[in-house]
Amino acid sequence: MKFEIKTDQNRFSDKLSLSLAISIITFIAIIFTNISLRINKLTRYYEINYLCKLIIVDKSQRNFKKLFKLTKQLKKQKVWDFCREFSV
């Protein structure tokens, strides 16, 4: 009859590889979150720039409503002032 004894010699390496994998996944998630936040800021900037240029040409109410939401201004005069400062 043959007896075998199983030993956990690689128990430490399993915990190490698991912790390494979790830290790499966390690091990648942080990088992607950072990139997405920066892209959001850039698109918001270019959208405001585009709408300010568009208001100069076409003063429609729809463009003002979009700028009201983006700039959080409540009056048209404040939006005009904001666009003047923004375009300079």
Query: From first to last of its 88 residues, what are the pLDDT tens digits of the chain?
Result: 676 666 656 555 677 788 889 999 999 999 999 999 999 999 988 888 888 888 777 777 887 888 888 888 888 888 888 887 876 6
Tell me the C-alpha distance between 69 and 87, whole Å. Answer: 18
- Contacts for 51 with CB less than 8 Å, ≥ 6 apart: 63, 66, 67, 70
Q: Where are the domains of the chain?
A: 11-87
Q: To the nearest 10°, report the CA torsion of 45, 50, 56, 61.
A: -90
Tell me the C-alpha distance between 2 and 27, whole Å. Answer: 48
